[in-house]
Amino acid sequence: MTPTQLQNVAEAADTIGQLLSQNDLAGASAVLTPLTVPEVVELVDRLGIEDAAIVYRLLTKGRALEVFEALSPGTQGDLVQALRNAEVTTLFAEMDPDDRVWLLDELPASVAPRLLRGLTRQERDLTSGMLGYPQDSIGRRMSPEFVTTHPQLTVAETMARVRGALDSAETVYTLPVTDRGRRVVGVVSLRDLMGATDDALIGDLMNGDPHIAVVSEDAETAARRTTDYGLLALPVVDGEDRLVGILTIDDAARILKQEESEDAARQGGVEPLRRSYLSTPISRLVRSRVVWLLVLAVGATLTVQVLDTFEATLAQMTVLALFVPLLIGTGGNTGNQAATTVTRSLALGEVAPRDVLKVLSREVRTGFCLGLLLGLLGFAIAGLVYEWHVGLVIGLTLVAVCTVAASVGGMMPLAARAIRVDPAVFSNPFITTFVDATGLVIYFLIAKAVLGI
């Protein structure tokens, strides 16, 4: 949305909030009517959940479903709990199976059985089947509603299948081609079908070497592959290579958006909100931050312990204390830069845990070069302002700290991936805490060696 649209939505949210406080539903509906679906989504995200539920009830049935499907899963979950049972049951039944699973992942476990009971047997079986896959697998994010064709079918026969499934299929722009055992042998695009003669065989048009995902594969990995290769749809197969679903490009983008939001939050030392900031209650904001603050506070006691250990060293030469913020700050920033770079490379598939020695080698050299540049600068400035032997301590410490920080920052995301933990969890907050403590140890050991104290 453009800045102008965002400003209009912000003004509309303020106006609707005032009208709802006055129980003027007609006035609120009049403000709501001219807004587009994306603008209504932004409006709902800005309102408290009780007001958002009232606004949602003011929408027409068709528009309400469009808005609901465009909301984040977290906001959907809050809205479902604020609506009446009858409204929720109807809304849940009209959603696609993959969207239902997104929603159920955000709701209390006790709510799922009630919602599933309101579905037809076929829809319930489709949704329940997806819920059986691991939490972060692509099987939980794929769509089980798709159109297939066979190598022996003609274009005319395939187009008849497409026309018959326009209302139910997730996409018809890319069609999986399967054999009699439902194994994927290729894919064919709607563009190729429309450009061929009616009697042309699918086997002559299909791409016989398609990209596929296994149902147990990590959702982010499969989504990244879909976007990297520019695929409109990625076939998903089970352990016996039978087609069970497809991942569309829009669902892949949705997965990546959520994963990147989670990574960004955890790198900043908070838990992801999974909903709009403005609609998140203060209590939830506190919960998302307090645990990390407590963990980091405990970690910071290492720094206090190091300072206590070298208290005598500081007492003999108090000028050393002036450089503590500079050195630990530089070390933390160097480690965070390395961690961010390697975490992104992991997400893009450019490196893997098996590349640990290569990454370590590169980060050691990178950290040393950075430390050498900063160390020369620190040596010159500290030497001119204080004494040259103090400048030597600062220069050598910067070289050592930057080398260690870059190495640790590069290794932690790889270690996290190796033990199947989100690399973002091991990134910036923990690296900063670790480098603070080790950086001080390095600093005081170099000071004692150079200054003889």
**Residue 272, pLDDT above cutoff 80:** no
Output the six-digit token pair for 311: 């208290």
Average pLDDT over residues 280-294: 70
Phi-psi sector, 74: left (phi>0), alpha (psi -120 to 50), beta: alpha
pLDDT digits (tens, 9 = 90+) for 187-220: 999 999 999 999 999 999 999 889 999 999 999 8
pLDDT digits (tens, 9 = 90+) for 297-307: 666 666 666 66
Please tell me the distance from the alpha carbon of residue 452 to that of residue 446, in angstroms, as a whole number: 10
pLDDT of amino acid 155: 94
pLDDT of amino acid 371: 93
Q: Whole-model pTM? A: 0.67
Note whether 328 and 303 are within 8 A (CB).
yes
Q: What is the set of domains in the chain, with CATH numbers? A: 3-134 (1.25.60.10), 155-265 (3.10.580.10), 282-451 (1.10.357.20)
